[in-house]
Structure 1
Amino acid sequence: MRFIASIIAATFLAGPVPALAADAVHSSEKGPLRVTTVASGLQFPWSVAFMPDGRMLVTERPGRLRIVSPDGTVSDPVKGVPEVHYQGQGGLLDIALDPRFADNGVLYLSYAEKLRNGAGTAVSSARLEGDELKDVELLFRQEPKVAQGDVHFGSRLVPDGRGHLFITLGERNQRADAQRLDRHQGKVVRIFTSGLVPDDNPFTQTRDAMPEIWSYGHRNVQGAALHPVTGELWTHEHGPRGGDEINIARAGGNYGWPVITYGINYSGQPIPEAEGTEREGMEQPLHMWKPSIAPSGMAFYDHDRFPDWKGNLFVGALAFQLVARLELDGERVVHEERILLDMKKRIRDVRVGPDGFLYLLTDEADGKLLRVAIEPRA
């Protein structure tokens, strides 16, 4: 089975790119960018994952999971998806494949879940068999639930390849809860892919703390990716009005929300709990946007197809309708280029495909899966 899966994956990586018509060419510092629509007709798509055979899995926020073929054909909804709470910012959110997906077919889904006492983010594992999810198992449930409001669910899923799964959680607009260790709101959590809690999590020996917590003081993390060299978890999160941040989510780290922030309330008034932009024991962001671009989706470019992008970090933006290309020097952002502004599309997810192209999901009722390439220079 593993040998066959390896052949399929190798064929996909080395094989020809499907001949899809280019939508447009856009300018950039590294050369013209060719944008191609791979698939359309996706209703508020949220996340895309690449299967070894060249097909892609795309979540739609209303609660549907689709399979997209390399030629752009979109399947009927995959059966067996857990019931989701599709209200406000809630719904079916992220998808991540188990590192051994080629052998076991296991994937992970995050979604907003509604129970009698309120709503919160949940994560389940499942096995994809044909067009159906089987062996669906709840791995994690955000506690406590929040009875009012349908915002700030997070949520990104990042398997680390060592048996752990990182889950990012919004504070559900309960600002003070982001600083409390006895609840999951405003946290990055780390569990085993079985749902169990690792003994080396930072707060397993802290009285009254939720043992799943990895880092805290977050507002609403909607971008997360492992650094291709260090293996550390980089995240970005929405500020309020201003103050979007990029951070490295390290064990036990406190990232300040709402005690320190570079943003203000949407009303223009200060955040009531805020004490300024710095405080001892609270981490400063690696990079910050003010005004807010409303970031969503994030990927490191670590492929040889486009050497000019090697080592760059790509971040999608909802409010500013762009993709930010960030050049890095270690843990410093040394240059930012804003690309694809003239598309005027809310970008929900950003991924680097196994073929080395950049893939984007647009956040709209007729959402699109886009492929981005640097055109060869004349």
Structure 2
Amino acid sequence: MALNDHNMKRLLFIFFSIVFSHSLLAQQKPVEIFYEKSEEGFVFFGRNIEQVPYMVQINFKNLQNLSSDSGDKTFIRTVQPNASKQKLLEIKKQSEEKGTSFDFNFLYTIGDPSLKVDSDFPYLLPYKHGKRVRVGQGNNGSGTHRGINAIDFNLEIGDSIYAARDGVVIEVKEDSDTSGNAPKYEPYGNFIKVYHEDGTLGSYVHLVKKGSLVKKGDRIRKGELIGISGNTGYSSGPHLHFMVAQNRDFQNFTLPIKFLNYENKLFIPLESKGYYAYHPGKPDFKVEDKFQESEFEGKIEPSSLNNKIEFDSKEYGDYILIYVDNGMKTEMSGVLKLQLKNLISTKKLPYKFSVPAKTRMYLLALSPDDNGASFGYQLSGEFK
């Protein structure tokens, strides 16, 4: 398709937008490229209706009697937020004696190629200050995270989501209540997407229906309550999928970001480990990270059961503590049997015990053998 001075045909615009994981294509085009005729040739401008910058690649073909000062036919430019008519480039006539014509198309995506990613930025864990949550899947995880950097936090449906970093909300989806453990359910995941000042984009995914507390265009602060966690989209169970990505050369690259812990140190979360959210400026909280078995052995408490006996458990840091709760009126003896996957017991198994009447008592603890892998256990026992 050609353009000339006397017969300007309709331009073919090729629009391209990077589509992030768990996203749908936006219906409204945020960026337009247009031109005006000048005395020397043609001047090209950009229009951006969004509050974040967009990178554009403008490609020229079949330049007839026209050229740029550099002689290039491909140009990368940044269209600034809310720009109505930003000059991007100019192509000039080579000869006043001849006519001119050209074809062009362009690509665009969110970001500014001049920005440098802050690889040591201290992200906040995106859940309530003082709350400890285990990582279900980490960077390049064993399940759906193969080849990508993303963290799945084991939040329950209804848990609060907090902003991990300041930014501008660029997209919200919250109309779905559909989920399933198959890729076909990916488009149904609710999410909030946030643009950060270094050009990266954070995605908070699997929110409940109507679970966003922010809207497109809102400027949010780190530690601000922004949403409600759920189980929508491609998901095997309730959790929050959090991911930070950067657009480079019109490709989407996920980043292994670092989080701030309660000791003001940076860390990269590991699969199966639990972490306390620390939001600076909030009150101190009790940390249960350093397990000492001697603090639990020999301690007993009243049973909450009536005429039955059973095992129960609780998490303490990265440990799983196993208890026996005897609601019977007599002392009971028993044997605890465990089948372990990537877990180590603090006591030799099977474990024999005696528990007084109407008493709940600590038995042993389990800890991950490899903190970067998933774990599990099956528990059974005999009583007499």
Q: Normalising to structure 2: TM-score of the pair?
A: 0.19
Question: Which has the greater radius of gyration?
Answer: 2
* Between structures 1 and 2, the one with greater helix share: 1
